[in-house]
Structure 1
Amino acid sequence: MATDDMWIWDGGRVCLDFTNTLRDRWRATPRETLRNAGDLARWLQEAELLTPDAPPPTAAAALASGRHLRETVDRAVLAVAAGRLPSSDDIALLNRSTAEALRPAPQLAVTDGRLEPLRTTNLATDPAAALALVAQDAVELLLSAEIRRVRVCGADTCALRFLDRSPARNRRWCSMSRCGNRTKVRLHQARTRQSGHTPQD
């Protein structure tokens, strides 16, 4: 079972959080956090895509399908963020996946004298439908102006994907508290060593 520190929610979009379930992509052998079908179901529930009472997937095919979608999303997002087109195979898989998403009928509400869309639940009742919601989010990101704000964490030992919503569009770290501070401390210590001073000097 994956631990909470393995599932990081700093992507800014559910599809990016999903790509980040494969950790340490900078390594020759990245760290897998979706090790079994139960892990996949738990991640989908924590991402608020799957109902808590949904029966967990038991087939290895469900896990393989989830991992395949994850890597397809990752390739497509990084390609478009860099100004390239995704492969035709990746486009086809995303289109097939989004076609399975259950979209609730739009509803209206009046709030403070204004007509607004009524918020509706989008929770899926099975993992396949929940994965379709991940694919749908990826397609929406690929077609939006936000795709140009997708970044890969600048820390040498991270590589998490995230959406840079900073006003200056210059966010470098997946999280300042995790990678940003650690990198700054490491660089400060390296400069201190090079100057021949200890922090107490």
Structure 2
Amino acid sequence: MATDDVWIWDGGRVSLDFANTLRNRWRTTPEETLRVPDDLMDWLREAHLLAAGTTGAATASLLLSARRLRESVDRAVLAVAAGPMPEPGDVTLLNRSAAAAPRPALQLLIIEDRLEPAGITAPFTADPTLALALIAQDAVDLLLSAESRRVRVCGADRCALRFLDRSPARNRRWCSMSRCGNRTKVRLHQARTRQSGGITEG
């Protein structure tokens, strides 16, 4: 079972955070963090989509549905960010999933002197199926917004997490500066130092 410190919340949207539950997508075999149904329940609680006091366990079939939804979200947002349309099958799955729950009331945030939707920030349901519907709704909202063109893949060689670039210059490269940005800069500096040292010695 995954532990709480496994979850990463740098996507900028709950649907991107959900896509990021499959890690190291650059590998032939990515790392699955939703390994058992309880992992899914834990993630939904940590994402504030499932009420903290919810009891009971998710089923294996719900976990499979969640993984299918996750991959449809991932394919669709990357397709739209790159320009073309998502696959019709992914659109159908997102629409069907999103329709499984009533829409939550919109909330507002002030970000850099402009109003932005706050997204889903509070526990909404005791039903994990409806919690997954909220993820699908967030993905639909993202795909229909101008922000869909600001979805990025982390520039670190061994990361590939998805995130929403809200930087003013639209040039954010890392999912997290502390996790990937600084580490990459340190590695590049060390490589340059080794290379220059080798040239000097030669």
* Length-normalised TM-score, structure 2: 0.87
Q: What's the secondary structure of 1:100's corresponding residue? A: coil
Instruction: Report the equivalent of 1:169.
Output: 170
Go from structure 1 to structure 2 and tell me whether the alpha carbon gap of 1:121 and 1:47 turns closer, same or farther (over 3 Å shift). Answer: closer
Q: What's the secondary structure of 1:101's corresponding residue? A: coil
Gaps of 5+ in 2: 108-119
What is the CA deviation profile of residues 80-132 of structure 1, one whole-angstrom value per residue up to 9, with x for unaligned ones? 0001111111110001001012224689xxxxxxxxxxx99561111000000
Is this contact kept in 1: 2:26–2:158, CA < 8 A? yes
What is the CA deviation profile of residues 166-201 of structure 1, one whole-angstrom value per residue up to 9, with x for unaligned ones? 11000000000000000000000000011117xxxx
Is this contact kept in 2: 1:19–1:71, CA < 8 A? yes
Gaps of 5+ in 1: 108-118
Is this contact kept in 1: 2:10–2:163, CA < 8 A? yes
Residue 57 of structure 1, CA deviation = 3.1
What is the CA deviation profile of residues 52-95 of structure 1, one whole-angstrom value per residue up to 9, with x for unaligned ones? 12233342101000000000000000000001111111110001
CA separation in 1, counterparts of 2:24 and 2:195? 29
Q: What's the secondary structure of 2:85's corresponding residue? A: coil
Q: What's the secondary structure of 2:152's corresponding residue? A: strand
Instruction: Report the equivalent of 2:154.
Output: 153
Instruction: Report the equivalent of 1:22.
Output: 22
CA separation in 2, counterparts of 1:106 and 1:31? 34
CA separation in 1, counterparts of 2:126 and 2:21? 21
Query: Residue type of the partner of 1:49?
Result: L
CA separation in 1, counterparts of 2:146 and 2:106? 24
- C-alpha RMSD of the superposition: 1.9
- Mark the structure with the bigger radius of gyration: 1
- Report the count of equivalent residues: 186
Go from structure 1 to structure 2 and tell me whether the alpha carbon gap of 1:183 and 1:120 turns closer, same or farther (over 3 Å shift). Answer: closer
Instruction: Report the equivalent of 2:191.
Output: 190
Instruction: Report the equivalent of 2:82.
Output: 82
Matched, 1:136 2:176: no
Instruction: Report the equivalent of 2:114.
Output: none
Query: Residue type of the partner of 2:129?
Result: A
Q: What's the secondary structure of 1:170's corresponding residue? A: coil
Go from structure 1 to structure 2 and tell me whether the alpha carbon gap of 1:135 and 1:188 turns closer, same or farther (over 3 Å shift). Answer: same
Matched, 1:12 2:12: yes
Query: Residue type of the partner of 1:180?
Result: G
* Length-normalised TM-score, structure 1: 0.88
> Quick one: percent identity of the two aligned structures?
72
Q: Which moved more, 1:3-12 or 1:40-49?
A: 3-12
Is this contact kept in 2: 1:102–1:124, CA < 8 A? no
Go from structure 1 to structure 2 and tell me whether the alpha carbon gap of 1:180 and 1:105 turns closer, same or farther (over 3 Å shift). Answer: closer
